[in-house]
């Protein structure tokens, strides 16, 4: 068990840092719906490695990175150019750049293998799948340097990047140099991708850019928090993946384990996140459906305002209403209790406010007006609610707690037929 060995520590530091940086930058890519551009970039970096090798004739670290950066940037520009100047859509543009540049990379690297001595060819292949166990201090230093630059840039340009992510058109109108900002961001992504290639490889680098950001998006609607979380997810995935692969009995590379750890974070976030998570959303949906059913029941009872009603008990909202003491059986059916009247009048009032709002203010077809009426006060501004109440009074539709049979149909239908 050598999990605290110097080599492992090096790799651990490198992959965690890479995860943090990729997570932060990737969040912007996810928000800008450009997640797969990272995929194209990392593939487009491949020919640059081979070309740099052909030109310099050796496996010089800086030279390789420069070459990869150059072709990755050209690839990113090509995607934009294809999208802007031809009828080809962005998805096809990404696919074209990704595959053609990668094809070029295969061609170049085969030429490299044929022209140089055998000792050096292994270097290029490892960029495809990554070889984190082969990480050396120089790789980690490169990641550290890039990490500092990227994080400093995201801090300094926080406001500008926010604008770029959410409303670039507004930014352009306001006179921000959106194109320049875009180029800066893409360059940062390119640099991050390239220092990550030796560690996790072409395909998995794309994953590291996408997954932490996509996972962080579930937990918050605030950009700052999302960046923190994405960095955290990326870092944790990097660290856990490295440790797991170091502990694993057989020879499993860290790259894929890192990605699967990140994917685990994503799945957990998708299921468990409090507001946007699938479970929370399902529960909310059920709760809403119950509340609407209950409100409909009460309102129907109120509006019928007859001494005898159809038996609501077989319906589940009916049983729950009875359990809460809002309805009670009488000699030939069911009736609202005192508390039930109160509640039903509230629901009816809210419902009518909503109906009037939708018919008069929002120009919605009257058939569409049914929804969770209780939301009316949360959705609308107080002034609007007061105005609606006034309209309700003018139309004589204010439900009167007890007694007074509401005249719903006549007045509302009149209103519906005479749109203002």
Q: Which residue lies nearer to other proteins by CB, 43 or 408?
A: 43
Of 137, 117, 139, the closest CA to residue 126 belongs to 139
Binding flag, residue 25, other proteins (CB under 8 A):
no
Q: Is 167 in the site for other proteins (CB under 8 A)?
A: no
Q: Note whether 105 binds other proteins by CB under 8 A.
A: yes
d(CA 51, CA 110) in angstroms, rounded, equals: 11
Residues 6+ apart with CB under 8 A from 201: 126, 127, 128, 129, 130, 131, 255
Q: Is 1 helix (H, G, I), strand (E, B) or coil?
A: coil
Among 142, 150, 207, 232, the residue binding other proteins under the rule CB under 8 A is 207
Among 151, 188, 206, 336, binds other proteins (CB under 8 A): 206
Q: DSSP letters along 202-227, please?
A: HHHHHHHHHHHHHHHHTT-S-HHHHH
Q: Which of 117, 250, 363, 420 binds other proteins (CB under 8 A)?
A: 250
From 256, 312, 399, 406, residue interacting with other proteins (rule: CB under 8 A):
256
Q: Does 415 bind other proteins (CB under 8 A)?
A: no
Residue 203 is a binding residue for other proteins (CB under 8 A): yes
- Minimum separation from the CB atom of position 279 to other proteins (A): 10
Asked whether position 330 contacts other proteins by CB under 8 A, the answer is no
* Binding mask of the shown chain, residues 288 to 317, with x at each position contacting other proteins by CB under 8 A: ------------------------------
Subset of residues 123 to 142 that bind other proteins, contact rule: CB under 8 A: 125, 128-129
**Taking the complex as a whole, how short is the minimal distance between the CB of residue 107 and other proteins, in angstroms?**
4
Q: Give the CA dihedral 349, 353, 359, 360, nearest 10 degrees.
A: 140
Identify whether the C-beta of residue 201 lies closer than 8 Å to the C-beta of residue 248.
Answer: no
251: its two tokens: 């020879």
Site string for other proteins, 40-79 (x = CB under 8 A): ---x------------------------------------
If binding is defined by CB under 8 A, does position 253 make contact with other proteins?
yes
Contact 46, 163 (CB under 8 A): no
Residue 86 or residue 174: which is nearer to other proteins going by CB? 86
CA distance linking residue 212 with residue 231, whole number of Å: 7
Task: Give the count of residues interacting with other proteins (CB under 8 A).
Answer: 60
Query: Minimum CB separation from other proteins for residue 263, in Å?
Result: 4
Nearer CB in complex with other proteins: 100/288: 100
User: Does the protein bind other proteins through residue 284 (CB under 8 A)?
Assistant: no
Select from 53-61, 107-115, 170-178, 314-322 the region that touches other proteins (CB under 8 A).
107-115
Residue 400's SS3 state is coil
Length of the chain, in residues: 420
Of 84-92, 132-140, 321-329, 396-404, which part binds other proteins (CB under 8 A)? 84-92
Tracing tokens 């109906």 back to the chain, one arrives at 355
By CB atoms closer than 10 A (0-12, 13-18, 19+), residue 314 is exposed
- CA torsion 354→359→362→366, rounded to 10°? 90
Beta-carbon-side half-sphere exposure of residue 413 (alpha carbons within 13 Å): 4
Contact residue for other proteins among 49, 79, 146, 204 (CB under 8 A): 204
Assess 104 for contact with other proteins (CB under 8 A). yes
- If residue 184 lies in a helix (H) or strand (E), which one and from where to where? helix 178-200
Contact 279, 272 (CB under 8 A): yes
- The residue among 321, 67, 41 whose CA lies nearest residue 193 is 41
Instruction: Report the C-alpha gap between 268 and 250 in whole angstroms.
Output: 27
- C-alpha closest to that of 38 among 54, 21, 62: 21
Residues 332-391 binding other proteins (CB under 8 A) are none
Q: Residue 38 or residue 235: which is nearer to other proteins going by CB?
A: 38
Residues 261-280 that bind other proteins (CB under 8 A): 263, 266, 270, 276-278
Q: Does 18 bind other proteins (CB under 8 A)?
A: no
Q: Which parts of this chain interact with other proteins (CB under 8 A)?
A: 30, 33-36, 38-39, 43, 82, 85-89, 91-92, 94-96, 98-100, 102-108, 110-111, 114, 125, 128-129, 203-204, 206-207, 210-211, 213-214, 217-218, 250-253, 255-257, 259-260, 263, 266, 270, 276-278
């Amino acid at each position: 068990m050598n999990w605290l060995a110097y080599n492992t520590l090096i790799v651990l530091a490198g992959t965690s840092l890479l995860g943090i940086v990729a997570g932060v930058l990737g969040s912007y890519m996810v928000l800008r719906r450009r997640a797969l551009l990272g995929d194209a970039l990392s593939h487009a970096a491949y020919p640059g490695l081979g070309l740099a090798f052909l030109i310099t004739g050796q496996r010089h670290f800086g030279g390789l990175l420069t070459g990869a950066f150059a072709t990755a940037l050209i690839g990113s520009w090509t995607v934009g150019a294809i999208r802007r100047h031809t009828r080809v859509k962005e998805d096809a543009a990404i696919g074209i750049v990704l595959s053609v540049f990668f094809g070029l990379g295969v061609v170049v690297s085969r030429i490299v293998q044929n022209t140089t001595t055998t000792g050096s060819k292994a270097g290029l292949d490892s960029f495809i799948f990554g070889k984190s166990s082969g990480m050396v201090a120089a790789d980690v230093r490169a990641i550290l340097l890039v990490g500092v630059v990227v994080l400093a840039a995201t801090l300094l340009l926080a406001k500008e990047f926010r604008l770029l992510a959410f409303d670039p058109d507004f930014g352009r109108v306001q006179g921000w140099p959106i194109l320049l900002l875009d180029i800066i961001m893409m360059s940062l992504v390119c640099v991050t991708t390239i220092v990550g290639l030796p560690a996790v490889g072409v395909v998995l680098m794309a994953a590291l850019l996408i997954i932490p950001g996509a996972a962080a998006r579930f937990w918050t609607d605030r950009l700052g928090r999302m960046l923190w979380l994405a960095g955290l997810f990326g870092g944790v995935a990097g660290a856990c993946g490295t440790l797991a692969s170091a502990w694993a009995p057989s020879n499993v590379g860290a790259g894929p384990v890192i990605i699967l750890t990140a994917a685990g974070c994503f799945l957990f976030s998708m299921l468990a996140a409090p507001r946007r998570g699938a479970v929370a959303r399902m529960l909310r949906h059920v709760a809403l459906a119950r509340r609407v059913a209950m409100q409909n029941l009460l309102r129907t009872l109120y509006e019928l305002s007859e001494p005898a009603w159809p038996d609501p008990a077989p319906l589940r909202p009916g049983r729950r209403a009875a359990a809460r003491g809002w309805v009670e059986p009488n000699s030939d059916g069911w009736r609202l209790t005192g508390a039930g009247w109160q509640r039903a009048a509230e629901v009816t009032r809210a419902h009518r406010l909503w109906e009037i709002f939708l018919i008069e203010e929002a120009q919605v077809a009257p058939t569409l007006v049914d929804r969770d009426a209780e939301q009316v006060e949360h959705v609308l501004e107080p002034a609007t609610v007061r105005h609606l109440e006034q309209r309700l009074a003018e139309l004589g539709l204010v439900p009167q707690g007890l007694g007074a049979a509401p005249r719903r149909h006549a007045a509302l239908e009149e209103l519906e037929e005479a749109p203002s």
